[in-house]
Chain A
Amino acid sequence: EAGVVQSPRYKIIEKKQPVAFWCNPISGHNTLYWYLQNLGQGPELLIRYENEEAVDDSQLPKDRFSAERLKGVDSTLKIQPAELGDSAVYLCASSEDRESPLHFGNGTRLTVT
């Protein structure tokens, strides 16, 4: 079974530029998550989807962050414009349903200069 696939693995951009991350969950997994992880911290939830519906986006900074999950499969997370403080690892995860264990992708390490 293929795992959660994320791209790109690394991204370096200048502040104020836009950036987008892509995630393909494990086949059949209805629930998809985007987490942010800073160095030395645990992952922090940005948004959770159940199928194509965003059921928890309370921690998503909506002035600059947006996300979508078209057709309830792949998902894209966008930041526009990026700020220096956005430098972190962005993790995508999926689970069979909202109560099942999460499985993480390899993450995207974002550096904003």
Chain B
Amino acid sequence: QKEVEQNSGPLSVPEGAIASLNCTYSDRGSQSFFWYRQYSGKSPELIMFIYSNGDKEDGRFTAQLNKASQYVSLLIRDSQPSDSATYLCAVMGGSNYKLTFGKGTLLTVNP
């Protein structure tokens, strides 16, 4: 069983819409959760991190964490064509601090 699961997509949304990206994880002891954006041919870039249950907002981005359901999501409001990229969910194990990445979800925002 893959430790971090993401829908590979592609997820296609119109410009201005809300994009919702989802991630589930298997290690119940995980404590830290990260979202990275990766443009084609580039390296991953940190967007947000969240440690506690609930929502965390930063500009147009909102990360949501539900540890009971082992679920973390990223919402992008007012999506722009420049948001088109692969979004990687990463989960840090609680005991070994190992950061495990999902395969990523490809998001396309159509003008």
Contacts and interface: CB of A to CB of B under 8 A. Distances in A.
A104 B101 contact: no
A88 interface: no
User: 5 smallest A-B Cβ distances: which pairs?
Assistant: A42-B101, A98-B97, A104-B43, A107-B43, A43-B101
A105 B97 contact: no
Interface in A75-103: 89, 91, 98-99, 101-103
Contacts, number: 46
Given A104-B45, A107-B43, A99 B102 contact: no
B44 A104 contact: yes
Contacts of A40: 8, 103
A56 to B, nearest CB: 6
A99 B43 contact: no
Interface residues of B, number: 23
Contact of A42 (B46, B88, B96): B88
A14 interface: no
Interface of B: 4, 8, 31-32, 34, 42-46, 49, 88, 90, 92, 96-104
A99 B92 contact: yes
A79 B96 CA distance: 26
Contact of B32 (A89, A99, A106): A99
A98 B96 CA distance: 9
A56 B44 contact: no
Contact of B46 (A56, A102, A106, A107): A102
Contacts of B44: 43, 91, 104
Contacts of B34: 101-102
